[in-house]
Amino acid sequence: MRIFLTGSNGRIGSVVERIFTEAGHEVVGYDIADGHDIMDPAAVHKAMEGCDWVAHLAMAMGKKNAPDVSYASGTVGTFNVLQAAEAHGVTRIVSYSSVNAMGLFMGEDTPDFLPLDETHVCRPGRPYGTSKYLGEQTCRLFTRRTGIPTVCIRPPAVWTDKAIESVKEEREKDAEFEWTPYWEYGCYIHVEDLARATLCALTCPDPGHIPLLVVADDVSSAHLTSRELVQKLLPDIEWRGGDQYEADPYKGLVDNSRAKEVLGWAPEFHWRSA
C-alpha cells in the first residue's frame, strides 16, 4: 500500500517510515524539514494524491513554538490532513494524539482512579493537550460522517534505547528523579513498539473511530513496584487494579489492553529485562 506519512523525518516518524518500508509498503513522506507544512491545505492535498492510507504524526511542538502555533497545528493541521484524505479516497487514517489529551500528565491534574484507561474523562487545559483532544474529536466526527476509520494513538513519553539508559542512570543517582517535579505514573513506550503499533493500526480490522493508549506493559520504576508507587505518591486515589498486580508487581498503571485487543499488538520492550 502507499502510505502518506506526516512528520516522516522526526525522531518517531523516521522509525515509523522504516517499519512501513520493511513491511513492503511505499511511503510518501511529508515533513516540515523538507518545507512540507500541514498548515498548507493545497500542498497536503497535492502530496497525498495516490495514497491508500495516512499516518499523521506531524505537529508543531509547544516547546519550540508559540502556544497558538502549536494549537493550530494540532487542530487545523489535522483537519487539513483529514480533508485531503477524504478527497483522495483514503481508506484508513492513523492520527497521533497523546496521553496529554487526557489532561492528567505533566502534573496537569490528578486522575480520578488508577490504573488509567480510555474510559477516564479527558480534561486538558494546556494548548498542546487541548489541541490533541480536539484533534481526536475531529477524527471522531470525520469517521461518523465519512465512514473512514480513524485510529487516534495516545503515546506517552517515547524513548529510544539511548534515552532509556540515560533515564536509568539518573534514577540510580537520585530515586526521586522519577517523580520530581511531577510523576507520569511510570508510563512510557519504546519507539520501536510505537512504530509497530502504528502499522498495526493501519492493518487491523476496521475499528471505526477509536482512541487508544499505546503504552508499555510495565512501569519504568527503578526500585518501587506499581502499588508502592501509588501508595507513596497518590495514596488517596481510587484503586481499580486487581489480582494482576500481585502476579505482576510492575504491571503498568496505564492500561494498554484495549490497544492490544483492537490492534493485535503487544509491546516487546520491558524495563527490567532490557
Note the pLDDT tens digit of each residue in 35-45: 999 999 999 99
pLDDT of residue 57: 98
Residue 216 has pLDDT above 90, yes or no: yes
Name the CA dihedral angle for 22, 165, 212, 41, rounded to a multiple of 10 degrees.
-60
Paired with 92 in beta bridges are 53
What is the average pLDDT across 201-207? 98
| Distance in angstroms (rounded) separating the CA atoms of residues 35 and 46 | 14
pLDDT of residue 61: 81
Between the two ends of the chain, the Cα-to-Cα distance in Å is: 33
> How crowded is residue 32: how many other Cβ atoms within 10 Å of its Cβ?
17
3-state secondary structure of 190: strand
The mean pLDDT value of the chain amounts to 96
What is the average pLDDT across 79-106? 98
Phi, psi of 117 (to 5 degrees): -150, -175
Residue 64 has pLDDT above 90, yes or no: no
As a whole-number percent, the residues of the chain with pLDDT over 90 amount to 96
pTM reported for the whole predicted model? 0.97
As a whole-number percent, the residues of the chain with pLDDT over 70 amount to 99
Output helix, strand, coil percentages for the chain, rounded to the nearest 5: 40, 15, 45
2-156+191-215+254-263 CATH, one of 3.30.70.360, 3.10.20.30, 2.40.50.140, 3.40.50.720: 3.40.50.720
What is the average pLDDT across 51-79? 93
Omega before 235 cis (within 30°)?
A: no
Report DSSP state, residue 105: S
pLDDT of residue 91: 98
What is the average pLDDT across 100-105? 98
What is the average pLDDT across 84-98? 98
Contact 209, 29 (CB under 8 A): no
| DSSP characters over 134-168 | HHHHHHHHHHHHH---EEEEE--SEE-HHHHHHHH
Residue 186 has pLDDT above 90, yes or no: yes
Contact 176, 217 (CB under 8 A): no
Q: How many residues does the chain have?
A: 274
| Distance in angstroms (rounded) separating the CA atoms of residues 68 and 65 | 8
Please name the amino acid found at residue 42.
A
| Distance in angstroms (rounded) separating the CA atoms of residues 132 and 219 | 24
pLDDT of residue 274: 66
